[in-house]
């Protein structure tokens, strides 16, 4: 049986333009859980670890902190990632257990609150690149910028807040993740890229940043030595010249780098491609980037843009 790390995108948990209510997110997560469960049943994976993003959700929590600061002191950004790990993890866990019961899949589902070690001198702290929270038009942005000195990026005709996104060096809970996954449980870990921490005199200290979940997914996949890394998102493929020509890339071979990667958006498709290539470089067999619904009908778990040695 193959082993796999499945990375679920934050925007796949909450679609673009959808009001970020609990009901809407639960509905989307239920749809995602159904696709994952069907894919698991058809491919009969051994070790299964599911990671997830939190870009929209951590941004919403950030706004709640901003608007309630007159009543309650705000939490640091790294603790908002901890909150979203718990809330998204709990919803995904319940939805997976329901789908497993419906499809007669006899597996436990466990959530591991995950910390990711980063380098305090990472140059990513000098330039914010990770989009979080809602999208704004030009007029909304003017009002939003009054709340504080934040960085914003122009993305698909709208604007979105960006924060620092350092690369993860390792996942502190990797031993626990491995034990649970090896026991047969489906493990939900690395949520939101993990809670970013640096080494300090007292052990580890949280830092204000949001790690890209794709890089953390690769770190987990390589550490567990799994066969496959599947990154589930909204597009069906990686596209070159997007959004101009939307040319799909269906196969990528290691040693044949894609020069167009430098034109991909920071914090969105670029880390997905880099994570897949690094996973293959580290010894992984296959990596995929594609629409989550295509996982249901995938032949042997292969779908979307496929990366191979």
Active site residues: 10-11, 130, 213, 272
Phi-psi region of 211 (alpha: psi -120 to 50; beta: other; left: phi over 0): beta
User: Which run of H or E residues covers position 198?
Assistant: strand 195-200
* Contact indicator for 191, 216 with CB cutoff of 8 Å: no
* Contact indicator for 104, 183 with CB cutoff of 8 Å: no
Other CB atoms within 10 Å distance of the CB of residue 40 = 23
Distance CA 42, CA 35 (A): 11
- Quick one: angle between helices 213-224 and 269-281, nearest 10? 10
Q: Residues near 104 by Cβ (< 8 Å), separated by ≥ 6?
A: none
Residue 139's DSSP bridge partners are: none
User: Which run of H or E residues covers position 161?
Assistant: strand 158-163
């Amino acid at each position: 049986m193959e082993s796999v790390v499945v990375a679920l995108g934050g925007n796949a948990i909450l679609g673009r333009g959808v009001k970020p209510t609990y009901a809407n997110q639960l509905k989307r997560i239920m749809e995602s859980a159904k696709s994952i469960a069907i894919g698991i049943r058809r491919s009969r994976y051994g070790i299964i670890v599911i990671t997830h993003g939190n870009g929209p959700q951590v941004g919403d929590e950030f706004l709640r902190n901003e608007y309630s600061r007159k009543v309650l002191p705000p939490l640091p950004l790294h603790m908002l990632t901890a909150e979203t790990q718990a809330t998204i993890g709990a919803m995904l866990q319940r939805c997976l257990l329901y789908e497993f019961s419906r499809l007669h899949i006899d597996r436990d589902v466990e959530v591991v609150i995950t910390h990711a070690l980063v380098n305090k001198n990472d140059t990513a702290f000098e330039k914010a690149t990770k989009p979080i929270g809602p999208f704004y038009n030009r007029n909304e942005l003017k009002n939003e910028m009054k709340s504080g000195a934040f960085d914003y990026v122009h993305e698909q005709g709208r604007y979105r807040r960006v924060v620092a996104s350092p690369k993860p060096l390792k996942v502190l809970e990797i031993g626990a993740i491995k034990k649970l996954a090896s026991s047969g449980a489906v493990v939900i870990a690395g949520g939101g890229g993990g809670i970013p921490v640096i080494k300090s005199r007292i052990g580890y200290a949280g830092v204000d940043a949001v790690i890209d979940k794709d890089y953390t997914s690769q770190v987990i996949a390589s550490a567990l030595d799994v066969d496959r890394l599947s990154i589930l998102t909204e597009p069906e493929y990686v596209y070159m010249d997007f959004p101009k020509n939307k040319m799909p890339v269906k196969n990528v071979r290691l040693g044949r780098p894609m020069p167009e990667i430098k034109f991909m958006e920071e914090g969105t498709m670029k880390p997905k491609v880099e994570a897949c290539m690094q996973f293959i470089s580290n010894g992984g067999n296959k990596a995929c980037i594609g629409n989550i619904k295509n996982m249901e009908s995938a032949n042997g778990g292969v779908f979307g843009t496929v990366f191979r040695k």
